[in-house]
């Protein structure tokens, strides 16, 4: 009888130890950008800052990636079989209140809604066109139905051009000496952005 109890305890603790080892191996932090290539991986890391140290888990038919440490917050959710569309939830200051929610399809088109002041109400939204390294992202800074800023990406992430909409016309944004300008009829005009909307200074 005593021998059986000893063997039972040995088997129990062996299974417990193996279970803990299996759990840590399966859910250890991984770099989810390692197979994306350096350029795309770097862009993805800017979008999902914790992507180089993430943990994955299965939630029904969905696979969920979350930050490996408690100092970061967010989630990347995808369907286990279809993969797309994917949902990204970002909480940049890890206070438990999402800053933005993004939905992405298989052609890398994004639709994003932002809650900049974290009051539970979406205050701006954005849309990114098809493509990874060649695309345009539009942002409606005040949810009035008119895009106020657009980011034009051609070939490389460091070749992004920022353009702003002022009075229905698009102008390339120029940064100099801590200020922002646009060129009108060959002359630089100082502009400012307030609540996601751009206008000429002094107007």
Kindly report, residue by residue over 7-39, the tens digit of the pLDDT: 545 554 455 454 444 444 455 666 766 666 666
Per-residue model confidence (pLDDT) at position 13: 47
Per-residue model confidence (pLDDT) at position 125: 94
Whether 44 is in a domain gets the answer: yes
Are 146 and 195 in the same domain? Answer: yes
Q: Pick the residue with more confidence: 143 or 201?
A: 143
Whether 190 is in a domain gets the answer: yes
Whether 10 is in a domain gets the answer: no
Strand order in the sheet with 187-194: 174-176, 179-184, 187-194, 197-200
Per-residue model confidence (pLDDT) at position 141: 92
Are 93 and 136 in the same domain? Answer: no
Structural domain ending residue among the three candidates 47, 75, 106: 106
Whether 8 is in a domain gets the answer: no
Structural domain ending residue among the three candidates 106, 132, 159: 106
Per-residue model confidence (pLDDT) at position 19: 45
The tokens 């109400």 sit on which residue? 121
Report the chain's mean pLDDT, rounded to a whole number: 79
If pLDDT is split at 50, 70 and 90, which confidence band does 93 have?
confident
Are 80 and 133 in the same domain? Answer: no
Q: Pick the residue with more confidence: 159 or 106?
A: 106
CA 79-76-149 angle, 5° bins: 115
Across residues 143-157, what is the average pLDDT?
Answer: 85
Are 166 and 96 in the same domain? Answer: no
Whether 61 is in a domain gets the answer: yes
The structure's pTM equals 0.72
Whether 13 is in a domain gets the answer: no
Structure tokens at 171: 């102008």
Which are the contacts of 114, defined by CB distance < 8 A and separation ≥ 6?
Answer: 99, 100, 122, 123, 124, 125, 126
Structural domain ending residue among the three candidates 78, 106, 134: 106
Which are the contacts of 162, defined by CB distance < 8 A and separation ≥ 6?
Answer: 149, 150, 151, 152, 172, 173
In the chain the beta strands, taken as DSSP E runs, fall at 54-59, 62-67, 73-79, 83-91, 100-104, 110-114, 124-128, 134-140, 149-154, 161-166, 169-172, 174-176, 179-184, 187-194, 197-200
If pLDDT is split at 50, 70 and 90, which confidence band does 128 have?
very high
Are 84 and 39 in the same domain? Answer: yes
What's the domain range around 142?
121-203
Q: In this model, does residue 108 exceed pLDDT 70?
A: yes
If pLDDT is split at 50, 70 and 90, which confidence band does 117 have?
confident
Picking from 70-74, 97-101, 154-158, 173-177, which range would have the lowest pLDDT averaged per residue? 154-158
Residue among 58, 134, 45 at smallest CA distance from 90: 45
Are 79 and 133 in the same domain? Answer: no
Number of domains in the chain: 2
Whether 114 is in a domain gets the answer: no
Whether 3 is in a domain gets the answer: no
Per-residue model confidence (pLDDT) at position 157: 58
């Amino acid at each position: 009888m005593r021998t059986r109890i000893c063997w039972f305890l040995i088997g129990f603790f062996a299974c417990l130890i193996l279970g803990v080892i299996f759990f840590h191996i399966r859910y250890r932090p991984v770099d989810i950008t390692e197979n994306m290539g350096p350029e795309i991986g770097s862009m993805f890391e800017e979008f999902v800052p914790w992507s180089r140290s993430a943990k994955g888990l299965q939630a029904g038919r969905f696979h969920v990636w979350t930050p490996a440490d408690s100092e970061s917050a967010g989630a990347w959710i995808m369907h286990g079989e279809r993969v797309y569309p994917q949902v990204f939830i970002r909480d940049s200051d890890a206070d438990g209140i999402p800053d933005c929610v993004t939905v992405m399809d298989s052609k890398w088109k994004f639709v994003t809604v932002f809650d900049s002041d974290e009051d539970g109400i979406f205050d701006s939204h954005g849309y990114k066109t098809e493509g990874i390294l060649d695309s345009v992202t539009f942002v409606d800074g005040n949810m009035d139905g008119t895009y106020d800023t657009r980011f034009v990406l051609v070939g490389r992430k460091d070749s992004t051009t920022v353009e702003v909409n002022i009075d229905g016309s698009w102008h390339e944004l120029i940064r100099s000496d801590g200020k922002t300008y646009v060129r009108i009829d060959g002359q630089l005009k100082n502009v400012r952005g307030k609540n996601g909307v751009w206008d000429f200074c002094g107007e």
